[in-house]
Amino acid sequence: MPIRALELRDIASILTIQLACPEIAQWNARDYERVTKGEMAGWVFEEGRELLGFLVGRQVVAEMEILNFAVRADARRKGIGDQLLQSALTWAASFSAEQAILEVRSANETALRFYERHRFQIGGRRRTYYSLPDDDALLLTRRLD
């Protein structure tokens, strides 16, 4: 399976993907280093020697929070995001998470459709949460069985 834990060697590729996806959180290398040290959980989708996507999450009591998630533009609509999300949900089941949560830009229609397909629902809104450009954050939740 092309999904594995995020490693230190992945950070440069992740930063490249992130730069091409201004709608996601723009972390620095040190943030991803924290993932490799176990402060958060992270997965990458690697095909051949190319990193095509990543997902970072964390456990917050009985919730799994998705913190950052992207698939390279030329690799979208191939199920990579589905597989990364499933890896995170499987991890959430390992600590009996009751729900998955995340924030997404209200203008990010592609992400909203993706999460809707995966049974996430809008649970709230944070006005002007994002900047560059200014946008509201929609709080999405999914009950985990």
Domain ranges of the chain: 3-143
At the top level of CATH, which class does the domain 3-143 belong to? alpha beta
- Per-residue confidence (pLDDT) for residue 127, from 0 to 100: 96
Q: How many CA atoms lie within 13 A of 56 on its CB side?
A: 23
- Per-residue confidence (pLDDT) for residue 110, from 0 to 100: 93
Q: What is the mean pLDDT of each run of 10 residues along the chain (145 residues)?
A: 93 97 92 97 96 98 97 95 97 96 95 97 95 91 94
Q: For the whole model, what pTM was predicted? A: 0.94
- Per-residue confidence (pLDDT) for residue 1, from 0 to 100: 64
- Per-residue confidence (pLDDT) for residue 23, from 0 to 100: 87
- Per-residue confidence (pLDDT) for residue 83, from 0 to 100: 97
Residues 29, 6: Cα–Cα separation, whole Å: 13
Q: How far is CA 38 from CA 67, 111, 140, in A?
A: 14, 26, 25
- Per-residue confidence (pLDDT) for residue 46, from 0 to 100: 97
